[in-house]
Amino acid sequence: MSDSNLLKLVFFHDQRMEELSSSKAVSNQTELDPLALFTQPDPTYSRLLFMGTELADKRFGLNCLEHNHELVAIFNRLYSPVIASESSDAMSLGDWIDNAQVNAFIIVQSNDEAKEAEVDVRSKVLENGGLFSEATEHSISSWGYEISPDQIHTILMQGYQVITKIPAANGYDLELYSRTNPYISFFYPIQSLLPDAFRFFSINGKRVHTSEALYFEFSRLHNPPHGYEEVYPESVL
């Protein structure tokens, strides 16, 4: 068992899509259909944050984990790029994770959904236009830096997902936005890597209020806060 390697999966479930929209967009939607606020369910999304810590040398980032390549392989099995960079149309998600600059984002699609319906993505971009087109064109031209919440909202509403490569002290971590809840899709494949790859903690993001709480491994590893669950090979959901 690798006690010095720690993977944290911080999850935020049932987040209101409205939080990703500008106040103007929400106001316009209300003006067009005020009854929708009462007659339609409030759309939600999930956000997963994958963070790595190498405890022995106090290094931070998924890339610092000895078995990071196996974690990247899980992403690669679950999702495929919709649009990344113009010069790398055939790249896999794993290639993008390994080579993209920190702060880049990529629009992806579940591999299960891609098998059910193959779509000419470039045509769909032209048909939808607006923020989706803006975000995809931005991603094509510049690896996709600094995606806005409004752009994430539009992409999720089109049925795609967004992965961002966020900075860590010694490399990068990953953040995933999805309309559907992808937690279980990651939980079991990651659990299958235990106990050899790393220690794995599943953390309720609503319990994280400070930086100290987020990096609990340096003060409370043997007595984690409520909502921080260490996952073992025999753990069940």
Residue 167 belongs to what H/E stretch? strand 161-168
pLDDT tier at 126, thresholds 50, 70, 90: very low
Measured between alpha carbons, how far is 161 from 93 in angstroms, rounded to an integer?
A: 12
Q: Summarize pLDDT for 158-213 with one digit per residue, the tens.
A: 889 999 999 999 999 999 999 999 999 999 999 999 999 999 999 999 999 888 88
- Across the range 91-100, mean pLDDT stands at 90
Measured between alpha carbons, how far is 62 from 80 in angstroms, rounded to an integer?
A: 20
pLDDT tier at 18, thresholds 50, 70, 90: confident
Q: What is the pLDDT of residue 179?
A: 95
Contacts of 109 (CB under 8 A, 6+ apart): 79, 80, 82, 159, 160, 161
Q: Residue holding tokens 């629009």?
A: 107
Q: What pTM was computed for the model?
A: 0.84
Does residue 162 contact residue 106 with C-beta atoms inside 8 Å? yes
Q: What is the pLDDT of residue 229?
A: 96
Q: Per-residue pLDDT for 110 more than 90?
A: yes
Q: What is the pLDDT of residue 72?
A: 97
Q: What is the pLDDT of residue 148?
A: 85
- Across the range 207-222, mean pLDDT stands at 91
- Across the range 19-46, mean pLDDT stands at 65
Q: Summarize pLDDT for 62-84 with one digit per residue, the tens.
A: 999 999 999 999 999 999 988 64
pLDDT tier at 154, thresholds 50, 70, 90: confident
Residue 170 belongs to what H/E stretch? none
Q: Per-residue pLDDT for 153 more than 80?
A: yes
Q: What is the pLDDT of residue 131?
A: 57
